[in-house]
């Protein structure tokens, strides 16, 4: 990792923030620091009424400035189920729409501790069911495939929504993209079965202690944290899941549990791809692209979305010499699509020339870039075997 980036992450890790006491202050700080990019994009705001929960679920819709392609992405934001919202994730979702060419729906689900588990999950599930039908019905010409995508806690929600759709006999999404997902309930350095909780749990921005604080706010009852709808790695059945891409990152306490979830899906005969981003911390997907990790991630995501460069015999493994590819746990399964249109415009497209300030900022950000040929890789055979050992240890700990 670039020394400047490592120094910055160490500083962040050492901030004395008690999330249980200060989560509202962190929310306010996030909102204050989020740049307003709405004037540069076409954005629609909409609300879905949940008859079961009896409240409105805000949805923000992003259209790409680039030529639109068939398909839709339903995005669940990260933030430990406690922080983050559609405002703070607007730059991320706008960039996602542009770089994939697909329409993006962002869900403003309810947050803990005001609304603990399963409130936020229920919002995501209701939004998914509605938007799949809506997009297919009202935007049939551009329907394409319907993909769930989330980062961190949002990836956790995406994984659980897919499991719940299967268990409820509902129509399945076509694909899911899980970016450094939280999939397990225990992040105590002494008791967790996953090595990355210990090796990456102190100096890389997100600490293991903070992950545990988020979990305690989201699910106050310790026994309920073992529920598969909280920790999807605890599920007994991983079969019949959509085609899946898991993106993990090297310096992340959640790295091993996310990769273990990919391994569990593959063992259940799903078509799964796993790629580890090098030299980047947890949360990089929402940062300025100071390491090249976002650029690399979208290369991987677009290959996955548009079924480029895949081979049916690829399994969690391989090498990464030359052009970045995106391979890795591969079995089989596929589906169709669905999703949206007809929302009130919030803003219009406005293209702008690059300014001198932008150039200076780019020069500054380049100081953080790690000069490396390979920005991501697949796992070695030993690492894949280790994932099986992690899962066996996890099962043993929970018996």
Active site residues: 152, 252, 282
CA–CA separation, 18 and 123 (whole Å): 27
Q: Which residues contact 71 (CB under 8 A, 6 or more apart)?
A: 102, 103, 142, 143, 144, 145, 146, 147, 305, 337
CA gap 260, 253 in Å, rounded:
13
Residue with tokens 């700990």: 397
Token readout for 191 is: 């008791």
3-state secondary structure of 260: helix
CA distances from 215 to 4, 134, 301 (A): 30, 33, 28
Helix (H) or strand (E) holding 397: helix 381-397
Both tokens of 35, joined, read 């740049």
Name the nearest CA neighbour of 175 among 143, 135, 148, 136.
148
> In the chain, at which residue ranges do the beta strands (DSSP E only) sit?
42-50, 55-63, 72-76, 103-107, 146-151, 175-179, 243-251, 272-281, 328-329, 344-347, 376-377
Q: How many helices (H) and strands (E) does the chain have?
A: 11, 11
Instruction: Output the DSSP codes for 141-173.
Output: GG---EEEEEETHHHHHHHHHHHHHHHTTPPPP
383: enclosing H helix or E strand: helix 381-397
């Amino acid at each position: 990792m670039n020394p400047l980036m490592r120094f910055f992450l160490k500083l962040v890790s050492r901030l004395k923030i008690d999330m249980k006491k200060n989560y509202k202050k962190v929310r306010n700080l996030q909102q204050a620091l989020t740049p307003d990019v709405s004037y540069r994009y076409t954005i629609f705001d909409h609300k879905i009424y949940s008859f079961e929960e009896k409240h409105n679920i805000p949805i923000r819709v992003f259209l790409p400035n680039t030529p639109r392609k068939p398909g839709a992405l339903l995005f669940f934001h990260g933030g430990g189920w406690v922080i983050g919202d559609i405002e703070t994730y607007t730059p991320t979702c706008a960039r996602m729409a542009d770089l994939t060419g697909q329409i993006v729906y962002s869900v403003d689900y309810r947050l803990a501790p005001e609304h603990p588990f399963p409130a936020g999950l229920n919002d995501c599930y209701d939004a998914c069911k509605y938007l799949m039908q809506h997009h297919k019905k009202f935007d049939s010409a551009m329907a394409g495939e319907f993909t769930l995508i989330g980062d961190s806690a949002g990836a956790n929600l995406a994984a659980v929504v897919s499991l719940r759709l299967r268990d409820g006999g509902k129509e399945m999404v076509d694909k899911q993209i899980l970016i450094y997902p939280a999939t397990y309930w225990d992040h105590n350095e002494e008791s967790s079965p996953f090595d990355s909780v210990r090796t990456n749990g102190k100096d890389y921005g997100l600490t293991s202690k903070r992950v545990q604080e988020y979990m305690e706010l989201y699910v106050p009852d310790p026994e309920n944290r073992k529920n598969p709808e909280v920790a999807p790695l605890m599920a007994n059945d991983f079969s019949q899941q959509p085609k899946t891409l898991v993106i993990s990152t090297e310096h992340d306490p959640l790295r091993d549990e996310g990769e273990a979830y990919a391994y569990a899906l593959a063992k259940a005969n799903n078509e799964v791809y796993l790629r580890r981003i090098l030299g980047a911390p947890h949360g990089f997907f929402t940062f300025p692209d100071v390491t090249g990790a976002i650029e690399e991630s979208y290369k991987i995501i677009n290959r996955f979305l548009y079924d480029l460069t895949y081979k049916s015999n690829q399994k969690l493994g391989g090498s990464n010499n030359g052009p970045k590819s995106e391979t890795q746990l591969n079995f089989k399964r596929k589906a169709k699509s669905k999703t949206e249109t007809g929302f009130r415009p919030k803003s219009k497209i406005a293209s702008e020339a690059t300014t001198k300030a932008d150039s200076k900022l780019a020069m500054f950000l380049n100081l953080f870039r790690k000069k490396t040929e390979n920005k991501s890789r697949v796992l070695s055979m030993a690492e894949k075997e280790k994932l099986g050992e992690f899962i066996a240890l996890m099962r043993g700990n929970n018996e």
